[in-house]
Amino acid sequence: MRIVRTVADLRAALAPVRGSGSVGLVPTMGALHDGHLELARQARADNDAVVLSIFVNPTQFNDPSDLAAYPRDEGKDVDLAASVGVDYVFAPEVTEVYPPGFSATVTLHGPIVEALEGAHRGVGHFQGVTTVVAKLFGMVSPDRAYFGQKDAQQVRVVQAMVADLNIPTQIVVVSTVREPDGLAMSSRNRRLSPFDRARAAHVAEALRAAELAAAGGISDAWSLLHSARKVLTDNAIDVEYLELVDADTFRPIPVLVTGPAVLAVAVVIGGTRLIDNVVLRQGSAS
Ligand code: AMP
Report the atom number in ligand 1 closest to the C-alpha of 178.
19
Name the CA dihedral angle for 193, 194, 198, 203, rounded to a multiple of 10 degrees: 20
The answer to the question of residue 9 being in a domain is: yes
Q: Sign of torsion, CA 133 261 210 214?
A: negative
- Phi/psi of residue 177, each to 5°? -95, 130
Whether residue 131 has pLDDT greater than 60: yes
Q: What CATH number is attached to the domain comprising 216?
A: 3.30.1300.10
Looking at residue 133, its pLDDT comes to 98
Which residue is catalytic, options 33, 36, 109, 120? 36
170 shares a domain with 37: yes
Pick the residue with more confidence: 258 or 138?
A: 138
Crossing angle of the two packed helices 123-140 and 7-14, in degrees rounded to 10: 50
Closest C-alpha among 140, 146, 142 to residue 158? 146
Domain span including residue 22: 2-174
Confidence of residue 283 (pLDDT cuts 50, 70, 90): confident
Residue of the CA atom closest to atom 5 of ligand 1: 28
Whether residue 57 has pLDDT greater than 90: yes
The 10s digit of each residue's pLDDT in 170-223 is 999 999 999 999 999 999 999 999 999 999 999 999 999 999 999 999 999 999
Kindly give the distance from the C-alpha atom of residue 157 to the centroid of ligand 1, in angstroms, as a whole number.
Answer: 15
**Ligand 1: lining residues by beta carbon, under 6 Å:** 28-29, 35-36, 38-39, 147-148, 150-151, 174, 176-177, 184-187
The answer to the question of residue 150 being in a domain is: yes
CA distances from 196 to 71, 209, 227 (A): 17, 20, 22
The 10s digit of each residue's pLDDT in 262-281 is 999 999 999 999 999 999 99
The answer to the question of residue 227 being in a domain is: yes
Report the atom number in ligand 1 closest to the C-alpha of 176.
20
Residue of the CA atom closest to atom 7 of ligand 1: 28
> What is the separation of C-alpha 197 from the centre of its chain, rounded to a whole number of angstroms?
20
Mean residue pLDDT of the chain comes to 96
The pTM score is 0.97
Report the atom number in ligand 1 closest to the C-alpha of 26.
7
Q: Is 202 a catalytic residue?
A: no
Q: Which of 118, 150, 174 is the last residue of a domain?
A: 174
Q: Please tell me the chain's helix, strand, coil percentages from 3-state DSSP, rounded to the nearest 5.
A: 45, 20, 35
Region of residue 271 (phi > 0: left; psi between -120 and 50: alpha; otherwise: beta): left
Helix ranges, 28-122 (H): 34-46, 64-69, 74-83, 94-97, 111-114, 117-121
* Domain tally, the chain: 2
57 shares a domain with 30: yes
CA distances from 238 to 199, 233, 274 (A): 11, 8, 11
The 10s digit of each residue's pLDDT in 75-123 is 999 999 999 999 999 999 999 999 999 999 999 999 999 999 999 999 8
The pLDDT of 69-78, averaged and rounded, is 94
Looking at residue 284, its pLDDT comes to 59
162's enclosing H/E stretch is helix 152-164
Q: Which of 143, 174, 205 is the last residue of a domain?
A: 174
The answer to the question of residue 182 being in a domain is: no
> How far is Cα 255 from Cα 214, in angstroms, rounded to an integer?
11
Kindly give the distance from the C-alpha atom of residue 30 to the centroid of ligand 1, in angstroms, as a whole number.
Answer: 10
Residue of the CA atom closest to atom 6 of ligand 1: 28
Q: Is 93 helix (H, G, I), strand (E, B) or coil?
A: coil
Mutation test residue for ligand 1: of 28, 32, 154, 171, the one with most atoms within 8 Å of CB: 28
Q: Which of 146, 174, 202 is the last residue of a domain?
A: 174
